[in-house]
Structure 1
Amino acid sequence: MSQSIGVIILAAGSGSRFRQVAGPDKDKLLADCTGRDGAVRSVIEQVLVNLPASLEKRVLVTSPERPQAIRMAQAYGCDFVELDSPGLGDSIAAGVQACPDLDGWLILLGDMPFILPSSIEQVVAGIREDGISVPVLAGEYGHPVGFGREFGAKLMALTGDRGAKVLFAGARVVEVPVDDPGVTWDVDVPEALTFK
């Protein structure tokens, strides 16, 4: 059975830690980043490049102040939702509300440019209607995280800064072992733009 899984790319955060180091006018999503393939692209483009072609439904959730990120996402076949809140819960809710009728949703952070496409595919393969699929590297949970259809209403009810971690309590969690440091690597500071 082929599932319709949508990917929600969260890109509405302000990136304050990055700006503290790089400067107030520096947007981490637009910073140059050398991908694992050796090509230099912006952080958000690296994230988009790594999306498997099988994920046809793509939604970028971002702030209206990021027209460049919106244009980039559209070039990669994404719909977009503009959101005035940097809250993680608000972003997840808005993304799922934009495509509520799917079999599941993959929540991907817009500042994680080094996740291998194969890792994303493995997490998608682990999505069950009543379960949460999460990559695990050396015992640590990473991203992206997949949610089955039964979590739709709960995802759409999230608010504020609280992400979807609260949904793990009592849920059926499918742990997907991966050998990919990209699943725990986010770009919070400029030094993190180079994968080591």
Structure 2
Amino acid sequence: MTLSPASWTGILLAAGRGRRFDPHGVEDKLQQTLPDGHPVALTAAQHLSSVMQHVVVVVRPDNRALLQEFQRQLYEVVICPDADQGMAASLTCGLRHAARSKGWIIALADMPFVKSSTIAALLRELENGADIVVPVFQGQRGNPVGFSGKYLPELLALSGDRGARGLLQQFSVREVPVDDAGILQDIDLPTDLSAQ
């Protein structure tokens, strides 16, 4: 798909190692199967692509199986050679690739329970002029998070493993109430695969 400056882009961060899930690095949590039979990362990608016109998936170079799976499903994949430096490295890698976008919804591949309706609600707020949007369920902020292009310089300056969390504390954020516990549920441990 040709990316125009009028496009909003979904960025799916799928470059982590998931050491808490398997400290030995044998089992990739992003390729584990959910109770419905679908893989974790692909489910997160499908929810994002069901709403966003343009989706970019960021993977690390040594995860060939995940890279090939996303390519087989015709996703646009960006390989981040610096992924082990932390989430911010993966995020800035995806942002540089989609820098011409009008803005971005940044989703995490280990959060497959986020509803498409939540992503749609965030996109609506961005389209209506919000610069930073975050979903809220029962008073708690979660993921994914959306940014307008206004914040590209600040996003590209991020480093470490906190991602964009610091920007949410520094700038004005539009909170979007959602009926979606999935914004708080990530896959950190094997028991999380069935926690819906």
Checking the alignment, whether the CA contact within 8 Å between 2:49 and 2:55 is kept in structure 1 is no
SS at match of 2:94: helix
2:10 corresponds to: 7
- For structure 1, which segment, 98-107 or 3-12, has the greater mean C-alpha deviation from structure 2 after superposition? 3-12
Unaligned runs of 5+ in 1: none
Paired AA for residue 180 in structure 2: D
1:88 corresponds to: 87
Paired AA for residue 27 in structure 2: K
SS at match of 1:133: strand
Paired AA for residue 176 in structure 2: V
SS at match of 1:51: helix
CA-atom RMSD in angstroms = 1.9
Identical counterparts, % of pairs: 33
Map 1:1-196 to 2 at 5 A. 4-20=7-23, 24-34=25-35, 39-84=36-81, 85-86=83-84, 87-127=86-126, 131-196=131-196
| Distance of 2:126 and 2:137 partners within structure 1 | 18
Checking the alignment, whether the CA contact within 8 Å between 1:17 and 1:188 is kept in structure 2 is yes
| Distance of 2:99 and 2:49 partners within structure 1 | 21
SS at match of 1:155: helix
- TM-score where L is the length of structure 1: 0.89
- TM-score where L is the length of structure 2: 0.89
Residue 3 of structure 1, CA deviation: 5.1
- Cα gap change, 1:77 to 1:126, in 2 (>3 Å): farther
Unaligned runs of 5+ in 2: none
Matched residue pairs, number? Answer: 189
- Cα gap change, 1:111 to 1:167, in 2 (>3 Å): same
| Distance of 2:51 and 2:117 partners within structure 1 | 12
